[in-house]
């Protein structure tokens, strides 16, 4: 699966970040495998909904795309509130670490808008 999260950075010094909670997740019809024999299987490796719709096991009712809030409800319902809270914290941590990794470059580019 993959996630698309929208983040607004208003400052790098200090780092000020806003996460839009209505991102989305895309899923593959087939479970991921690192088996070399499956490298050409697009239904394992590509989450694009237009591709996944072509899979024999694609479910029109559930689709291959969820809002992040639906994912959080699913995690809470199947794994509990603590797991949902940990996922949310981990997502925020990945965002912050990613932005800190590019911070030295970004603060030196006065005309940057990404």
Average pLDDT, the chain: 87
Q: Provide the residue ranges of all domains of the chain, joining segments of one domain with +.
A: 1-26+66-103, 28-63
Please, which pLDDT band fits residue 7 given cuts at 50, 70 and 90? very high
User: Between 113 and 92, whose confidence is greater?
Assistant: 92
What is the C-alpha separation between 114 and 111, in angstroms, rounded?
Answer: 10
Which tokens go with 1?
């699966």
What are the pLDDT digits (tens) for 77-106? 999 999 999 999 999 999 999 999 999 888
HEC string of 28-66 equals CCCCCCCCHHHCCCHHHHCCCHHHHCCCCCCCCCCCCEE
Mean pLDDT confidence for 22-43:
86
Specify the pLDDT at position 15: 92
What is the C-alpha separation between 1 and 98, in angstroms, rounded?
Answer: 19
């Amino acid at each position: 699966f993959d996630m698309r999260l929208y983040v607004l950075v208003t400052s790098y010094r200090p780092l000020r970040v806003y996460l839009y909670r209505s991102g989305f997740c895309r899923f593959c019809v087939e479970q991921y495998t690192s088996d070399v024999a499956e490298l050409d299987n697009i239904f394992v490796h590509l989450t694009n909904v237009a591709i996944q719709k072509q899979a024999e096991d694609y479910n029109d009712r559930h689709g291959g795309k969820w809002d992040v809030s639906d994912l959080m409800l699913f995690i809470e319902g199947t794994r509990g509130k603590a797991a949902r809270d940990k996922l949310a914290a981990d997502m925020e941590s990945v965002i912050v670490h990613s932005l800190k990794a590019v911070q030295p470059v970004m603060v030196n580019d006065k005309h940057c808008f990404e």
